[in-house]
Structure 1
Amino acid sequence: MTLPFFVYGTLRPGEPHHATFLRGRTHTEEPARLTGAVLYAGPGYPYAVEEPESVVTGELITPLPDAYGELLAALDQLEQYAPGDARNLYERVAREVVLDTDGTTRRAWVYVAAPAVAARLRTRGELIEGGDWRRR
């Protein structure tokens, strides 16, 4: 399934991983929101944890078609995600995000905390109030 990516932390424009992974590989980068998630602080990067009634701020990144496969593999590696691997820090899931510009929704890949990580964060994590990594 070819979907854009919703990014909310170090992959956002102006953040450290944006230049390394996304510069020159994107068609569009649009402000967007993910409903049904909160952010927790990690060691230099955030984790989105699915929670009803909450919102995470980020960008919807639509890759250039010829860069999609390479970018998907690079982001999976960055996020330490491998399908079905119990050691994953993140899971890549398809979720609806809302574009800030016009309120429309788009389905996108989102890296959310893997179940074991999410459980640990819910009990001992540092919540990022307001769901915006840049305003932490």
Structure 2
Amino acid sequence: MTARNPHHLPFFVYGTLRPGEVNHDVYLRGRTETEEPGRLDGAVLYDGPGYPYAVEEPGAAAVRGELVTARPESYDRLLLELDELEECVSEDPASLYVRVARDVVRLRDGAAVRAWVYVAGPAVAEKLRLDGRRIAGGDWRAHG
């Protein structure tokens, strides 16, 4: 077994990468060690065309999803693939998503775990705040 790199953060997924969703099977199946329910506080969820966007909003309720820990041998490639899937270009303010390290609450024990989260990029977040459709309860699966 490959030793875990302390810089390899788990991922917090809240949309199509969640277990049972289409991108989970394509990107994560067989490449994870654990998948467990989690909550990102200080964010709201918006319904995008075909997928959701988390938008950071201090004091907001929470976004529901899963904390996914990748297998060490899969981590580096998975990180690149997820950045590509999420159209995440860190230097581009027009990027659909940006990957940020945030504390996510692990629901089984209430512990805060540092994880990568793909949140709406600045331009997308601004547009969503103006005329986006919020998902009540912060759970994309439950919104219907």
TM-score, with length taken from structure 1: 0.97
Per-residue CA deviations over 1:3-31 (Å, capped at 9, x if unaligned) read 11000000000111000000000000010
Shift of 1:83: 2.1
Instruction: Give the gaps of 5 or more residues in structure 2.
Output: 1-6
What is the deviation of 1:86?
3.1
Partner of 2:4: none
Superposed, 1:98-117 pairs within 5 Å as 98-117=105-124
Aligned partner letter, 1:135: A
Q: Distance in 2 between matches of 1:55 and 1:83?
A: 24
Given the two structures, how large is their TM-score scaled by the length of structure 2? 0.92
Counterpart residue number, 1:57: 64
Distance 1:119 1:46 in 2: 15
Q: Secondary structure at the match of 1:71?
A: helix
Which letter maps to 1:85?
Answer: D
Cα RMSD of the aligned pairs, angstroms, is 0.8
1:51-130 pair list within 5 angstroms: 51-52=57-58, 53-130=60-137
1:110-134 C-alpha deviation (Å, 9 max, x unpaired): 0000111001000100000000000
Unaligned 5+ runs, structure 1 = none
Q: Whole-Å Cα distance in 2 between the matches of residues 125 and 42 of structure 1?
A: 8
Amino acid in structure 2 at the alignment position of 1:118? A
Answer yes or no: is 1:131 the counterpart of 2:108: no
Structure with the higher strand share, 1 or 2: 1
